[in-house]
Amino acid sequence: MTKTLPDQVADLIISLIFIRDLKPGDKLPPERKFAEQLGVDRTSLRMALRTLGRMNIIHSVQGSGIRIGDIEQDAGLDFLDNLYRIPELELGGRLLISGLEMFNQAVPMGMRLAMLRRINAGFSAENGRTASLVQEMYTAVNAGVDNKTLARLEVDVTDSLMAASDNLVLKASSTSSRRIRLLLTEKLFELIDVKAHLNHQLKLLHTAREDNVDVELMISNYLEYMATLTKPLLEHLATLPPEPRLISSPLKNGLNITSMAQLL
């Protein structure tokens, strides 16, 4: 789907902030001049800046114009969600490793909460959906489908677990991180025995349904499993350039703006 002009402008500024072309405290040009430099109308620029303001990554300072915030201190899930949706942006190994480490903790956490809530009818439905998705993956593996499809199914399984946790923060994190999890999972499946992984997942779901399951022991074992499973992916990510890079401009107006220096 083609993004609107305001969204393209917002994506460009987000990208420039993330690659540190725009740094905390930097001042944006006045609105009229900035719109002319970008080759867009002022209304589209104003809408983009309003979006970025809601993300808390730019701040309007009276008498000083609009300045860039510190994303490491002020950015939230909405910033990450937009960041992951910019295909022109290479995220860099450092962020991908951070994401992988977080997901390796978040999935077992969601599973633990889901198991502790299994007396709830909503959990039972999600638990059945999770098992159905894993079985669908197993069928897909035997049919020889591509890693991209398998990755989508694996991420669907994770989303189902997050939904079963009934934890709003985990569910919001799951939604905002879906694109990066798809990328990481697709690469992971190139490096591991996917069928063996699915066998483990099926056994895990069977264990989770037992009445006398030791939840804490099961989650501890799963944390160890995830660390071992994703070790090849972690090693691969460590070989990538650590810093992000903007390959081409998210603003599709023929100017291919990838740095503020081009506007001078």
Q: What is the chain's pLDDT, residue by residue, as a tens digit (264 residues)?
A: 689 999 999 999 999 999 999 999 999 999 999 999 999 999 999 999 999 999 999 999 888 899 999 999 999 889 999 999 999 999 999 999 999 999 999 989 988 888 887 645 444 445 567 778 878 888 888 898 998 999 999 999 889 888 888 889 888 888 889 999 999 999 999 999 998 998 898 888 878 777 788 889 999 999 999 999 999 999 999 999 999 999 999 999 999 999 999 997
Q: Which domains does the chain have, with CATH numbers?
A: 5-89+244-263 (1.10.10.10), 93-237 (1.20.120.530)
| Rounded Cα gap, residues 17 and 244, in angstroms | 11
| pTM (predicted TM-score) | 0.87
Assign 66 to helix, strand or coil.
Answer: strand
Helix (H) or strand (E) holding 59, with range, is: strand 58-61
C-alpha distances in Å from residue 103, one per residue of 11, 30, 71, 121, 162? 25, 40, 20, 26, 11
